[in-house]
Amino acid sequence: MIKLKERLLVPFAQFIIRDIPSMILSLALFLGGIWLLAIRIPGWSLLFGLIFTPMGAAFMVFTLDGVARNRIAPPSFKSAECRVCGKKTYSKENVEDAICNRCRENIGEEILKEKG
């Protein structure tokens, strides 16, 4: 039985611990940049505003991209050792026996040779 609660709680905890702070930081940079542009201190606001605003935006995109890739759709593959050659390969999480693509191709070729 898969521990469903754990599978849901761990990514959620990671989301709170790692992603929320970086999201807040990027949002603060972005809004701070806009605020600096808005208050119009001669020289400084334009300088820092034009630095912080794109930085915040880029950081936010980066963070959300990471969130989307790792949390919302966690990679369903885990690394495993190929049963034939022992090299590192990937298998689906619930599949224990992994055979790498190269070995799979070789096996396919061997079978074809035997048949032909």
- Cα separation of 88 and 90, whole Å? 7
User: Least Å distance between CB 80 and Zn ion?
Assistant: 11
Segment 25-84, which members bind Zn ion (CB under 5 A)?
82, 84
Strands 88-92 and 77-81, sheet pairing: antiparallel
Segment 79-98, which members bind Zn ion (CB under 5 A)?
82, 84-85
Q: How many CB atoms lie within 10 A of CB 89?
A: 20
- DSSP letter at 73 equals S
Segment 8-27, which members bind Zn ion (CB under 5 A)?
none
- Cα separation of 49 and 29, whole Å? 9
- Cα separation of 32 and 52, whole Å? 7
Q: What is the four-CA torsion angle of 62, 67, 72, 75, rounded to 10 degrees? A: 80
User: Least Å distance between CB 75 and Zn ion?
Assistant: 20
Interacting residue with Zn ion among 29, 36, 98, 100 (CB under 5 A) = 100
Complex with Zn ion: residue 29 or 98, whichever CB lies closer: 98
User: Least Å distance between CB 46 and Zn ion?
Assistant: 59
107 scored as a contact of Zn ion (CB under 5 A) = no
Size of site (CB under 5 A) for Zn ion: 5
What is the binding site for Zn ion (CB under 5 A)?
A: 82, 84-85, 100, 103
